[in-house]
């Protein structure tokens, strides 16, 4: 199947937008990684200034999924760095959305995955292993559930209750 742009998805799915089954995230995320456009089923994670669970999930087979990390919007440290970007690529993840910061931007930009984050920060996170996997999270003004679909490109980020087609 050809990649669906977010603009095409919005134009072709007005009833889904109206019902809330297709949602547009607030345009606050910066674009990183070599994959400027990516999509896939979502795996969610809720953490705060601690990336142990981020690594744990990225060590599993990605199978084209997108890891959505609710870092509480913290701008005080990075939750994903170059090593985790490379791990995500190696394990077959399509992308990562971080409601927080990343670091090692040049390394992440060299990875063949898509990454969206609020910004970059040079400080690494703590390593306590505190957080929740596969839970509903609130990011960018919308509720995102494990198993939904994320579509991202240069125009924006969409969350859909189901896989979209044109």
Q: Give the domain CATH number at 139.
A: 3.50.30.40
Please give the residue that has the higher pLDDT: either 162 or 165: 162
> What is the distance between the alpha carbons of residues 132 and 70, in angstroms, rounded to a whole number?
10
- Mean of the per-residue pLDDT values of the chain: 96
Answer whether 120's CB lies under 8 Å from 156's CB: no
* Within a domain: 85: yes
The reply to whether 23 sits in an annotated binding site is: no
Confidence of residue 165 (pLDDT cuts 50, 70, 90): confident
Answer whether 96's CB lies under 8 Å from 66's CB: yes
* Within a domain: 87: yes
* Within a domain: 1: no
* Within a domain: 90: yes
The reply to whether 104 sits in an annotated binding site is: yes
* Within a domain: 140: yes
Q: For residue 1, what pLDDT is reported?
A: 44
* Within a domain: 165: no
* Within a domain: 105: yes
> What is the distance between the alpha carbons of residues 155 and 166, in angstroms, rounded to a whole number?
18
Domain that holds residue 34: 6-160
> What is the distance between the alpha carbons of residues 146 and 20, in angstroms, rounded to a whole number?
16
- Per residue in 81-93, pLDDT (tens digit) is 999 999 999 999 9
- Per residue in 60-78, pLDDT (tens digit) is 999 999 999 999 999 999 9
CA atoms within 13 A on the CB side of 52: 8
The reply to whether 72 sits in an annotated binding site is: no
Q: In the predicted model, is pLDDT for residue 114 greater than 90?
A: yes
How many structural domains are present in the chain? Answer: 1
The reply to whether 84 sits in an annotated binding site is: yes
CA 32 to chain centre: 11
* Within a domain: 99: yes
The pairing of beta strand 132-133 with beta strand 22-24: unpaired
As a whole-number percent, the residues of the chain with pLDDT over 90 amount to: 95
The reply to whether 82 sits in an annotated binding site is: yes
């Amino acid at each position: 199947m050809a990649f669906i742009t977010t603009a095409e998805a919005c134009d072709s799915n007005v009833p889904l937008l109206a019902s809330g089954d297709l949602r547009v995230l607030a345009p606050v995320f910066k674009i990183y990684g070599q994959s400027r456009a990516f999509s896939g089923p979502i795996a969610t994670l809720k953490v705060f200034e601690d990336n142990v669970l981020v690594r744990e999930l990225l060590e599993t087979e990605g199978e084209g999924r997108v890891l959505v990390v609710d870092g509480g919007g913290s701008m005080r440290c990075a939750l994903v760095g170059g090593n985790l970007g490379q791990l995500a690529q190696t394990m077959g993840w399509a992308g990562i959305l971080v409601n927080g910061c990343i670091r090692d931007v040049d390394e992440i930009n060299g990875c063949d995955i898509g990454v969206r984050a609020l910004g970059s920060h040079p400080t690494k996170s703590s390593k306590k292993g505190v957080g929740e996997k596969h839970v509903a999270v609130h990011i960018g003004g919308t509720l995102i559930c494990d198993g939904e679909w994320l579509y991202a490109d240069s125009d924006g980020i969409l969350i859909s209750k189901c896989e979209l087609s044109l």
